Chain A
Amino acid sequence: MRLRAKTTLARAAGALALTLIAVSSGRTPALAADNVNSVGVRLPADAAPAAKQVLTMVGREGTYLDWGKTIQKGQWHPGLITEALVMQDLNSDIKPLAAERWDVSKDGLTWTFHLRTGLVWSDGVPLTAADFEFTIKRIANPETGFDVTWYFSMIKNMKEANEGKAKLDEVGATAVDATTLRLTLTEPTPYLPMILSDLYVVPRHVVAKVGDSWSTSPETAVSAGPFKLAKWDRDKELVFVANPAYRGIRKPYLERIVYKIGRDETLFPAYLAGETDAMPWIYEGPLSPSDVARIESDPKIKKESYTWPYFQTWWIAFGGDETAFKDPRVRKAFAMAIDRDAIVKSVWRGMAVPAYGMLPNGFHCAQPARLRDAQPFNPAQARKLLAEAGFPDGKGFPKYELYLRAASPTVRTTGEAIQAMLKQNLGVELGVQNLERKLFMDRLNKYELPIVLIPWEYDYYDASNFMNIYKSGGRHPWKNADYDKLVATGNSATRDADRCAAYRKAEDILAREPAAAFLWHPTVTQLWKPWVRGEILKKNKFGIVGWQRPSKADMVPYIYMGKDKP
């Protein structure tokens, strides 16, 4: 009798433990020998067996998996083998991830993040607040060579340390204890969690031993995320498998993710040939108008396509004081000599909408219609402005190259269209040069490129994500004290209406002075086979069925393969 009671108690405790695991992982636990994968997640009723839970895609080749070393030379999907403090869900809302909660001081300058207990790296070493502190200071360290330190510049002394004006110890990140991380900011930043959703922790103990190459081989690439690196055959294949040591809330359905390494141009042919399950990439627009025409003409493929206007803006950014673009009349002349409607209609065949400002339609604080008159297509007025700036009919204007970043075929064609428009409408001769991504970004960050065609894709649903790009000391050399003040107001105000009012005034300066020539917002088309299921099939709060933030892997743990997978 006593034995039976003990057994019952043990079973109850076991059930409770399983329930707790289920609650913490966000998945239903395996209670019976049903369709369960190797990390103990029970698969949905319409899922293929665990052995078939393999997602194959084409990925680009990068030097590292570690985005804390470089983004531009990093592999996509950094979130597979690492954990951020917070995450974005399907609706771009912030959810706790490694941090289960956080507090903000009254002045908004001190943020304290409380980590979940029990988090571990795949080698069994605990994941602690010290790893996050190390990660932030490593990004600030100029020796790391991180591409976008300015993105985290609200953290105290981040920028200064990166410029060698402060010590790394003075950066505002402190591990108070194993599960408490304190961040000190230079200004109140209500959207800080959104920024931190792209701060990918690195293993301090491994980096100290192996150095920056830690993420390049399965032996040293320890994981804090739902997957771990199984194989990296350079220029051929990258394979991740579910991480059995993962203790976070993103336990995956998938057993394996395979990336066949290839250029953007190979994405669509590989999908058509049935070599991949999905084609989520959208950053540089891998689909050309001919690809879209092909999709439109094939009902089967059309059924597998998902299209929506993307939160991305393309524009021409100008060089600084050492170039002819220091004169705002020249910048405005360029902006008014480019027929964005023609680019959208002719080159992009409707796969985009014209951009009148920085914020894409439907995005936080966006009100693009009010900026329609800021940079109207008006060749006569553009020619007049250029003449006033000292270059009548383009005479005497320096021959610059329009630089493109690892451009897709359609972006290259757009570069040629801009080249033709500037010649026809201003008499300005411009070359077009396509540069490798990292080289382009290094030169851009040093303000070495006189004129570039460049995009920005949203990282999080907040206007600060776009507006901070043009702050003084940001990605481009343009400076405007009024703009800086307005963006600072937008960044730190607490009422959304106040924030949007400030951002809109700042955007007016960007478009009307102008700082840049805004051109188009793309419409994205993704493709995935009918057996690819999960959250990507759910409509989000923006009314979109699609793979959100496809370069960041937020949605990957929530994807599974249906029974119809061949």
Chain B
Amino acid sequence: MGTLLVAAVGGLAGTAPWITPAHYDEASFGEAWQFPSSRHWLGTDGVGRDFYTRVVYGSRVSLTAGLVAQAMALAVGLPLGLAAGVLGGRVDFAVTRAVDALTAFPQLLFALLLMVVLGSGLSNILLAIGLHAWIPICRLARAESLREREREYVQAATAQGANRPRIVLRHVLPNILAPVVVAVTLGIPQAIFTEAALSFLGLGVQPPTPSWGQMVGEGVNHIRFYWHLALFPSIMIAVTMTGFALLGDGVRDALDPHVRAR
């Protein structure tokens, strides 16, 4: 189910130019504030832009936020966690203190503060989310590699004269990858939500680029009459987050030997 939902949203994002009647910032002022109809399936916004088009294009921002931010989190969190777990000592101390310090900030608050400093825009959002999202990945990678480094097969490899990079890359990394992949997948909906929240608050993606969070933020101001402006992007956020959450569960079920054993 999760795969289906994610594939559907991914399909929308990938085919947006071909399945929409206009460009997302194409305004037709004479058609502003229209309710859903056969001409405009999801209605139009206050500038006369086709809302279906904007909702479809909005999937690109959400997916980009989710995937790129988690990729950044993986790129930073995994090596740092591995290094801390395997090397120990000062490296472990430094990484652990950094993780502890950043954990003190809730992710949304951290992203908010960063956006105020950096200014709005998609690249800054990715940075703001990614700079916090690596923490759980790093923590997990450290804990797993601490455990793995004490295992017999690692000690055997050490006894056979394998150097440290080889031990890390050939022995420890493959064995900690499964839980890390699960954590990354489960982090995607969180990143999508953070992007939506930032854009909802006006600190995220700036107009005319469509983002579901920004559309909901604008739409709630008109919900007493033009209900469609908040409803459809809200549904899309919910569907996408559910899709990735289910997908994450599925990945965990597939990769976790304990669950598999049952």
Residues of A within 8 A of B (CB): 265, 268-269, 288-291, 293-294, 297, 339, 342-343, 345-347, 349, 409-410, 412-413, 415-417, 419-421, 423-424, 431-434
Contact = CB atoms under 8 A, between A and B. Distances in A.
B46 A420 contact: no
14 contacts: A289-B222, A290-B33, A291-B224, A293-B226, A294-B225, A342-B29, A342-B30, A346-B48, A347-B32, A416-B46, A417-B47, A420-B47, A423-B25, A424-B27
A235 B150 CA distance: 56
Given A346-B32, A347-B32, A409-B218, A417 B225 contact: no
A387 B193 CA distance: 44
B206 A347 contact: no
Given A290-B222, A291-B224, A413-B218, A419 B32 contact: no
Given A347-B46, A413-B218, A290 B225 contact: yes
Q: Is the interface of A mostly helix, strand, loop or mixed?
A: helix
Contacts of B30: 342, 345-346
Contact of B222 (A409, A431, A433): A409
Contacts of A346: 29-33, 46-48
A410 B48 CA distance: 13
**Of listed B31, B202, B221, residue having the most chain A CB within 10 A:** B221
Contacts, number: 79
Interface in B180-231: 202, 206-208, 218, 221-226
A416 B224 contact: no
Contacts of B27: 417, 420-421, 424
B179 to A, nearest CB: 42
**Of listed A288, A345, A432, residue having the most chain B CB within 10 A:** A288
B206 A410 contact: no
A397 B218 CA distance: 29
Interface of B: 25-27, 29-33, 45-49, 120, 202, 206-208, 218, 221-226
Contacts of A432: 206-207
A290 B218 contact: no
B208 A420 contact: yes
Q: Give the top 6 A-B pairs by smallest Cβ distance, nearest first.
A: A290-B225, A409-B221, A346-B32, A290-B222, A342-B29, A413-B46
Nearest to B31: A346
Contacts of B206: 431-433
Given A342-B29, A431-B206, A432-B206, A291 B225 contact: yes
Given A412-B218, A420-B47, A431-B206, A290 B29 contact: no
Nearest to B45: A413
A139 B25 CA distance: 46
